[in-house]
Structure 1
């Protein structure tokens, strides 16, 4: 259950989802939307989704900085899936300028001005799965964690609204070794990393009945900083040991400890220890995690996190420096994370569907970071509401806040829907600073999801 977590999070992102409110909220999975076809096993059935959205999309200045502009946005989606081992999801928003500065042409230039932006045409492509000897996935990642998550945690590679890369994830198993590797941008030299887990019980006593109960892992991540705007390169490495103490059909609990650092920076290291639990029933999927951390010399766990694509240019705080060079006090922190998915099975009234993701860290020197999202479907799934928020450096000068919201209402049997989104953004400038902005969008869509 623990290992499947990382792959399942990635696969969920293959469906259209809210990404700083630039994408629609996730649709229910094929299993939630369709009844089993007579005489056909679910894993052998093809599933498809065709969707077109037409909306207005307006960029608005904040704090008197920047100029406003408006666009007509057309967003087509084509999605084909067969079981858990094959799927392809294509489509990208096309924004045509209605008002505002026209020096960039009728099409919004920032959406297509570098090679990496063409990656947004692939929303998801999967070959194999976490249970296969080899699995490959391409597309958008949001709240992605690399296995243990002590280097890459809750990372969103499109937090920069002018950068639209496609990520790649590779998983593989060979005997007692399990490997997960990723790149945040398959078309550019950006964030790349891998983590390898060694099953100690397998090595010492042969193939175990329960895989992955006692593992030793090593991970390394490097940012080349050469796409999505140039920024300082940085390298981190980490070692982790995990022991699964409780294994039940619907529950698993484990403890872990680890140590990591920045190989290119002397005295930059950190240690971590904690506990975690996974629960999975017919109606509930839940992941809980609690960690005690120690950081020194500018290293911190979760360095590549939800804010990284902005912090690589300018970290939260008053220094104005990129994260790779920004001062970070020595100290301790407590980190907690929860992932909850709930869906009713026997509906006695209005159907409900809930997804909640929350991560928070409090530091001994007075800083607090939190990011989270919640999505709920109500009234026979005809109304969807999604909220997303990020706060970094709370309690210190120069704290950073971002938020977005989306509402979608389905009508005429669910094939048509009205949608409205809005939120705040930060745009990196050529000088490396972050320019505040906001956006709003309203429109209509049609699909065959129901």
Structure 2
């Protein structure tokens, strides 16, 4: 579990391109030699277009420099941010001021800062959180702190190991009072029988998460807590299976609780990295597992459904659900780095009362890795009134030996307003980039 987590952290040191694009899992890998670096510059036209006759079109030239420094296993740094220069629209000023109008927005300059590793007693990481899960992932699962297009915070988390205890604490915005939480996992086998040959086979974990609601727009605060037990029941070379059970609630909210049981498998070969999860869940009194999920930065202002209330106050029907998740990385040539011919991440939950949620992303590399396609989609509340849908796509084509590439992106957005509504919009961009990745 710890090793995989730090691989994900290093993955997010790759250049992300802001709210108007799909964070491509098929980016060129960072330098693998300690002390190496990667420099990149992208220039693109970028157009935001409203839908349903709301608002006005805006056009920009977007310049995006990026610098990655690889200091080895214990250090990595990714700096860069998109700077949008206005061509037309109702806004004032050459630079798009709404991208830098709060302290939290300045966090977007740090895309990734890694200090430590899974082998170190303490590790720290800062940057954009994309599909982030807090350890057992029953409170925070597949969460993104950039799903609100007008809010660009830098998140961060700290991991630590002390004897039989493993801890992870996180903040969605290190420059503002927003989503914060922690999970402490106890290695039961270590406590009862001494340090085991393989750690983490039998664990009890306690997690708690609180949203202060004071940055990225004001919204109601909310607190959730969860207790989980996990047992690894089968271990083979390159394969592991586990079962789990848990119970959670909302402190101070009587009758708000939920339970979960499930199983999962992890498989790792030279060409395939596979993770599968299946869970049966029970929700009651407004609590649910995965409360802080991929839609949370929008739902905190307006939850899916006709009531138009923030998620913290919105009623959630009692019932059952089945949740499944798959993460797949595959490469045909046994490449040992982060590049993969295929990367897929998909999560889906079906509720007993007729609601269905799904989110996923897929990235494919073709033609000797010179052509890349990435797709991202989200559907929340499907099968119910006022379901929410978002989608985007990105294409990249490298030529002239791979140093130069053309790119095109497009998709849909939702902008929270001061009235508590979500204004729909769309975006599209085309441009060129250059780097020393190859």
Q: TM over 0.5, yes or no? A: yes
- TM-fit CA distance, 1:47: 2.6
Written as runs of structure 1 = structure 2, the 5 A alignment for 1:38-77 is 45-77=34-66
Residue 301 (structure 1) aligned with residue 269 (structure 2)? no
Summarize the Cα distance change of 1:294–1:346 in structure 2 as closer, same or farther, 3 Å threshold.
closer
Distance 1:221 1:284 in 2: 33
Residue 287 (structure 1) aligned with residue 286 (structure 2)? no
Give the equivalent residue in structure 2 for 1:29: 29
Q: After the TM superposition, which of the residue ranges 45-54 and 18-27 deviates more from structure 2?
A: 18-27
Q: 1:93 aligned to 82, 88, 95, which one?
A: 82
Distance 1:50 1:383 in 2: 20
Retained in 2: the 8 A contact 1:6–1:146? no
Give the equivalent residue in structure 2 for 1:38: none
Summarize the Cα distance change of 1:439–1:94 in structure 2 as closer, same or farther, 3 Å threshold.
same
Deviations 1:404-435 (A, max 9, x none): 00000001000000000000000000111100
- TM-fit CA distance, 1:21: 4.4
Retained in 2: the 8 A contact 1:6–1:145? no
Retained in 2: the 8 A contact 1:10–1:144? no
Distance 2:384 2:19 in 1: 24
Give the equivalent residue in structure 2 for 1:105: 93
Distance 1:346 1:71 in 2: 41
Give the equivalent residue in structure 1 for 2:7: 8
Q: 1:403 aligned to 379, 388, 391, which one?
A: 391
Written as runs of structure 1 = structure 2, the 5 A alignment for 1:335-350 is 335-345=323-333
Summarize the Cα distance change of 1:213–1:24 in structure 2 as closer, same or farther, 3 Å threshold.
closer
Summarize the Cα distance change of 1:301–1:346 in structure 2 as closer, same or farther, 3 Å threshold.
closer
What is the DSSP-based 3-state SS (H/G/I as helix, E as strand, rest coil) of the residue aligned with 2:401?
A: helix
Cα RMSD of the aligned pairs, angstroms, is 1.5
Retained in 2: the 8 A contact 1:370–1:391? yes
Retained in 2: the 8 A contact 1:21–1:405? no
Retained in 2: the 8 A contact 1:14–1:140? no
Written as runs of structure 1 = structure 2, the 5 A alignment for 1:376-415 is 376-415=364-403
What is the DSSP-based 3-state SS (H/G/I as helix, E as strand, rest coil) of the residue aligned with 1:413?
A: coil
Give the equivalent residue in structure 1 for 2:165: 177
- TM-fit CA distance, 1:23: 5.8
Give the equivalent residue in structure 1 for 2:416: 428
Deviations 1:294-350 (A, max 9, x none): 000000000000000000000011110000001100000000000101112269xxx
Give the equivalent residue in structure 2 for 1:83: 72
Summarize the Cα distance change of 1:309–1:411 in structure 2 as closer, same or farther, 3 Å threshold.
same
Paired positions, count: 434
* Structure 1 unmatched ranges of 5 or more: 32-41
Distance 1:51 1:28 in 2: 11
Distance 2:425 2:30 in 1: 36
Retained in 2: the 8 A contact 1:10–1:141? no
Summarize the Cα distance change of 1:272–1:439 in structure 2 as closer, same or farther, 3 Å threshold.
same
Residue 205 (structure 1) aligned with residue 204 (structure 2)? no
Give the equivalent residue in structure 1 for 2:178: 190
What is the DSSP-based 3-state SS (H/G/I as helix, E as strand, rest coil) of the residue aligned with 1:300?
A: coil
Deviations 1:89-147 (A, max 9, x none): 00000001000113x32211210010000000000000001221000000011000000
* Structure 2 unmatched ranges of 5 or more: none
Retained in 2: the 8 A contact 1:331–1:365? yes
Give the equivalent residue in structure 1 for 2:121: 133
Distance 2:90 2:302 in 1: 27
TM-score for the superposition, normalised by structure 1: 0.94
Distance 2:22 2:284 in 1: 38
Give the equivalent residue in structure 2 for 1:114: 102
- TM-fit CA distance, 1:7: 3.0
